[in-house]
A and B are shown apart, each in its own frame.
Chain A
Amino acid sequence: MKLRFVAILVLVLGIIVLAACDQTAAPPAEEEAVPTQEEETTEAEEEEAAPTEEKAPAEEEAVEAEMRCVRVANSDNSGPAQTNDPAFHVTTDDGFRIHNIYDRFIDIDNNLDAVPNLAESWEPNDDATEWLFYLREGVKFSDGTPLTAADVVFTFKRLIDPDVGSSAASTLSFLESATIESVDDLTVRFAFDEPVVELPIMLTGYSTYIVPENADPEVLKLQGVGTGPFMVDEFEPNTTYVRLVPNPYYWGDPPQVDCVEQIIIEEATTRISALLSGEVDIMVQLDIGQIPMLEDDPNIVIAQVPGATSYGMPMWVDTPPFDNVHLRNALKLAADRQELVDIVLLGYGVAGIDSPLPPTSPYAHLSEAPEQDIEGCVAELELAGYSDGVDLTLYTSEVLPGFVDLAQAYAEQAAECGIRIEVIQAPVETYWDEVWLVEPWLVSGWSALPVYQALTIATLSDSDWNDTHFYREDFDALIDQASKTVDDDERKALYQDASRMIAEEGGFLTTIFVPVLSAYRSNIEGFAPHIIQSTIDMRGVHFTD
């Protein structure tokens, strides 16, 4: 009897304690708990370090409590390889810090075009074998030293130097035979043997942030010395927390926040929970599947940059039955692209136009995707000789989120036209090795690329990755002509012609473009994601409350 009473009493007390566990009740009990832990653990000597560590921050507490940081959650972690040196950056967590500590020589906008940054303006000579870049005046590094052309020259030479071993060396390999020199303190000259019509966009990328001449790599790695709006406060590699503070020498508008905190949270549920509870202000890498959790919350804003990654169904145009242009047209007309965006991307995306370029690109031949046209599809099928419909096989895999949904949704749409598609789901691990470039029809994707690369990476006759077997001399000639056209408007028209040729005669069935997605709390202003996902810009970000 007595025992049962005691047992019930304990249970009830337990429930009361849990329920009453609010801030005012907790502190006294918890503060006492901290020192007594030392008696309980087996490693007594290590414990002695703990109370002093906890007291030291308390001294700075007064100052820190005043600072209000914007807290940004990242999902990628470079681990022990973390660095603040642009030449060696591994993934988005490095990219975030680097982008805000340094400035790019030439910046890149959401259309993947070159825009001025440290290079204020530039001009080619008549045949684009020589370019002059004029630097912005009055720019200083975070140690107070002024930016000069010598720093730019040093930065690029360093990136292609095999002794330095930067991962950027391969994309900048075209600079190896170039002359890179300073004409004066604010002018840099690049000279080539052949015309390089699009040099500005080729000079911008993940690593092309300007570092001081003869900078110590160790300093670059741990601290980073840049011309950007922020500086690193404290940094040790293999950390999940870094604070950035404003750079007093920044040439642009000073940051509107006291500090920025980068918090790496690898677990997706934890990341979203932190955003929902208000513990982080911005979450940079949002997956489509996470949108329903955040959509309805009035305190959360979902931002997107369209046209980042394309999802399509490339087919070999030299292989039956896809070598019949009418069949290809039928397949293109059967697609209800907007419906595919709604099903696969929950409405967050843009319909594709059968070109590597999104309709939002200024170089695209169309600004809106065509609608589904079943009647037209049936007519094309008849022209192709398939009045009883046709049986086709489409490969897919969950290598990228939404690939399988896309195949299945498209198959249903095509069925309305009499195209019977068997969808085969292949294993993820071997998809890129054993299905892509092996099977004649599959689901595939490309990430956002500047226009020249986008139009050539898979469509030139000698491309290693020509996944539509699009071997067209006239197309190659068109691209070649564009690469020599110095006038921007003329070149743009040529690119549009190229895009049109691919769309109308090629095997790209590019149906949807996946956006870059971010989410942030509604009391944040001035933040927008960028089409290059690791470009997370904190300039201008501020709280509205």
Chain B
Amino acid sequence: MANVLKLIGLRIITAVAIIFAVSILIFWAVDVLPGDVATRVLGRFSTEEQRELFRERRGLDDPVTVRYARWLSGAVQGDFGEAYTTERPVMEMVSPRLRNTLILSGAALLIYFPFTILFATIAALARGSIFDNIVQTVTLLGLSTPEFVQGTLLLVLFGVVYPILPVISQVDRANTPYEFTQMLIMPAIVLASAMSMYAIRMLRDNLIEVLEAPYVTMARLKGLSSWQVAFRHALPNALLPALNITALNLTWLIGAAVIVERVFAFPGFGSLLVDSISYRDPPLIEATVLIATVVYIVANLMVDILSYMLTPKLRTG
């Protein structure tokens, strides 16, 4: 057990170090963006005095290292300063969007986990059957269909043709938790389905491999049913690579889900990230990119910790 704790501790320290390194990279990258920040924000019609004032107020004439230190010390406390375009605190702009995306991600994961495990398991157990073939084909189709298309089809089907769900997932408009949840359903399904297409295939393949292993045959000979074999012995071993895929998917959820956000008009974090770059607002870019990075690193960290805990070799060694 001590072995595992040591590994986990090392892993956490590495993660923190990576976060620091990335923060430097982000800050520097935003800093070298071409063009003058003051002119960009204040517009073409601004005077040189106004721009000077703008730079002074924000300490833009200080050296890069000073500005970085100032930013970082605020960032670790959760204060990312004020956005240049809106002059509102960055966190005020970020928190509601982040909260929305986290809830949506949660809903997507809620669908994704059981869906993936169920279909991968059945496909592996019923390998070669019609069901397995259907799963293989459907996941291949799903992989090939962009989220934009899936989302639009779903939206038109269940929003217009058979109107059972709201078309717009603008959750700020929801007056009740029920309305809020309704708005989550379609975007969550699209996100979940996009993630699970890869995961089902991978998990199914891993399961099949595991099911051929001697200890599985042994379990069967002992008299355990197929289900018991699958869930108690095969699945935990096959789960590891699938968890890695899930970690990758989680980052995708936060950032690349901007397409889903756009189709369903969902006010999420991905759109904020993209908007901050279109509007070239440095504090906003720095904050959103850093947060997205932290989520990715933390997700990977948790997956690694989980896989350490799930690896029997490490536990007993």
Contacts and interface: CB of A to CB of B under 8 A. Distances in A.
A211 B43 CA distance: 22
Contacts of A41: 102, 105-106, 109
A167 B265 contact: no
Interface string A30-57: 1101101110111100110110011101
Nearest to B46: A165
Interface stretch (A3-11, A436-444, A505-513, A523-531): A3-11
Contacts of B106: 37-38, 40-41, 47
Contacts of A57: 174-176
B262 A266 contact: yes
Contact of B181 (A31, A162, A165): A31
Interface in B270-291: 272, 275-276, 278-279, 281, 284
Interface string A1-29: 01110111011000000000111001100
A279 B168 contact: yes
A267 B261 CA distance: 10
Interface stretch (A190-198, A233-241, A308-316): A233-241
Interface in B233-283: 250, 262-265, 267, 272, 275-276, 278-279, 281
Contacts of A374: none
A162 B298 CA distance: 49
A169 interface: yes
Contact of B129 (A7, A37, A53): A7
B152 interface: yes
A46 B98 contact: yes
Contacts of B118: 10
A170 interface: yes
Nearest to A36: B110
B155 interface: yes
Contacts of B213: none
Contact of A265 (B49, B105, B168): B168
B118 to A, nearest CB: 7
B281 A273 contact: no
Contacts of B86: 80-82, 237-238
B125 interface: yes
Nearest to A237: B86
A57 B176 CA distance: 7
Interface in B77-117: 83, 85-86, 88, 92-93, 95, 98-99, 102-103, 105-107, 109-110, 113
A10 B134 CA distance: 13
Given A2-B226, A43-B102, A238 B272 contact: yes
Contacts of B102: 41, 43, 46-47, 50
A274 B170 CA distance: 12
A486 interface: no
A296 B39 CA distance: 49
A163 interface: yes
B122 interface: yes
B164 interface: yes
Size class of the B contact interface (CB-based, 8 Å): 35 or more
B16 interface: no
Contacts of A277: 159-160, 163, 166-167
A236 B178 contact: no
Given A42-B299, A273-B155, A37 B110 contact: yes
Nearest to B155: A273
A3 B122 contact: yes
Contacts of A270: 152, 155, 167-168, 263-265
Given A263-B265, A265-B265, A37 B107 contact: yes
A274 B267 CA distance: 16
A47 B51 CA distance: 41
Interface string B170-192: 10111111101110010000000
A177 interface: no
B173 A80 contact: no
Given A238-B272, A241-B172, A81 B85 contact: yes
Contacts of A165: 42-43, 45-47, 50
A214 interface: no
Contacts of B95: 49
Contact of A79 (B49, B113, B166, B279): B279
Contacts of B265: 240, 263-267, 270
**Chain A, interface SS category:** helix
Given A4-B126, A165-B47, A237 B88 contact: yes
**Chain B, interface SS category:** helix
Given A34-B177, A53-B99, A238-B86, A279 B113 contact: no
Contacts, number: 183
Given A8-B131, A236-B92, A265-B265, A162 B47 contact: yes
Contacts of B226: 2-3
A422 interface: no
A239 B267 contact: yes
A42 B295 CA distance: 9
A60 B176 CA distance: 9
A496 interface: no
Contacts of A31: 177-178, 181
A162 B50 CA distance: 10
A261 B265 CA distance: 15
Given A40-B113, A241-B173, A276-B160, A167 B45 contact: yes
A440 B299 CA distance: 61
B170 A241 contact: yes
A4 B167 contact: no
Nearest to A6: B122
Contacts of B141: none
A30 B85 CA distance: 38
B283 to A, nearest CB: 11
B107 A273 contact: no
A238 B94 CA distance: 10
A544 interface: no
B66 to A, nearest CB: 26
A543 B47 CA distance: 48
A181 B166 CA distance: 53
Contacts of A38: 106
A142 B279 CA distance: 32
A64 interface: yes
Nearest to B173: A241
Contacts of A279: 159, 166-168
Contacts of A60: 175
Nearest to A234: B172
B126 A3 contact: yes
B275 A238 contact: yes
Interface string A160-193: 0011011101100000000000000000000000
Interface of A: 2-4, 6-8, 10-11, 21-23, 26-27, 30-31, 33-34, 36-38, 40-43, 46-47, 49-50, 53-55, 57-58, 60-61, 64-65, 79-82, 162-163, 165-167, 169-170, 236-241, 261, 263-267, 269-270, 273-274, 276-280
Given A57-B175, A263-B173, 11 more contacts: A3-B129, A7-B126, A7-B131, A47-B102, A65-B175, A79-B85, A80-B275, A80-B281, A273-B167, A274-B167, A277-B167
* Nearest 10 Cβ contacts at the A-B interface: A37-B106, A80-B85, A7-B131, A41-B106, A237-B86, A54-B177, A30-B181, A274-B167, A241-B172, A265-B265
24 contacts: A3-B129, A7-B129, A30-B178, A30-B185, A33-B110, A34-B181, A37-B110, A38-B106, A40-B106, A42-B295, A49-B99, A50-B99, A50-B103, A80-B83, A80-B284, A82-B86, A165-B42, A167-B43, A238-B275, A241-B172, A266-B265, A269-B152, A274-B167, A279-B159
